[in-house]
Amino acid sequence: MRSFRVGGGLILVDNRLLLAANRRRQGMLEWTPPGGVIDDGESVLEAITREVAEETGLTVNGWEDRHYCVHVSAPDMGWDLTVESWLATAVEGEIALNDPDGIVERAEFVDVADVAGLMEESAPWVRIPLLNWLELGRRPMEPHHFRVFGVDRATARVEQWAP
């Protein structure tokens, strides 16, 4: 099993949430908060700060707290994923894409009321926690847990469970 640790940035400005449009291997476009894999030797906040800068060109000058965590197990695909999503307290700069992975096609601040519509095609482990966080007043909340069954993401069955 491969294990991935990922950090995600929750960046709100004037009731607008920063989202990145990622082109996935299967060709689909998935909207997510900016973020990515935490490299060896990096703290989660160092990784999120770096990823936000790479994917959006913005500089985060402060983080409040981890607002949610997501655990995903996909045994049939051979991976586990843990995502920590942190709320930014200060951000500056202009949006400019410089994604070294080449998957981010767009980044934009989206009115909070429009986030759900944009994320319809996003993976449940991305969409559900983020929408819950928005609905629950954008405060820290309990972790979300998912299991993915099947070897192809397009046809896999995803279950949310409580520990």
Q: How far is CA 118 from the centre of its chain?
A: 14
pLDDT, tens digit, for every residue of 105-148? 999 999 999 999 999 989 999 999 999 999 999 999 999 999 99
Coarse DSSP helix, strand, coil percentages of the chain, rounded to the nearest 5 percent = 20, 45, 35
Helix (H) or strand (E) holding 47: helix 44-56
The band of 87, judged by pLDDT with boundaries at 50, 70 and 90, is: very high
The band of 29, judged by pLDDT with boundaries at 50, 70 and 90, is: confident
State the pLDDT at residue 74. 97
State the pLDDT at residue 154. 81
Q: Is 35 exposed, middle or buried (0-12, 13-18, 19+ CB in 10 A)?
A: buried
Structure tokens belonging to residue 76: 């049939």
Do the Cβ atoms of 57 and 98 come closer than 8 Å?
yes
| Domain span at 130 | 2-161
In CATH, what number is assigned to the domain containing residue 126?
A: 3.90.79.10
The type of residue at 94 is E
Q: Is 68 exposed, middle or buried (0-12, 13-18, 19+ CB in 10 A)?
A: buried
Q: How many domains does the chain have?
A: 1
Residue 89 has pLDDT above 90, yes or no: yes
State the pLDDT at residue 86. 98
State the pLDDT at residue 40. 94
Write down the pTM of the prediction: 0.94
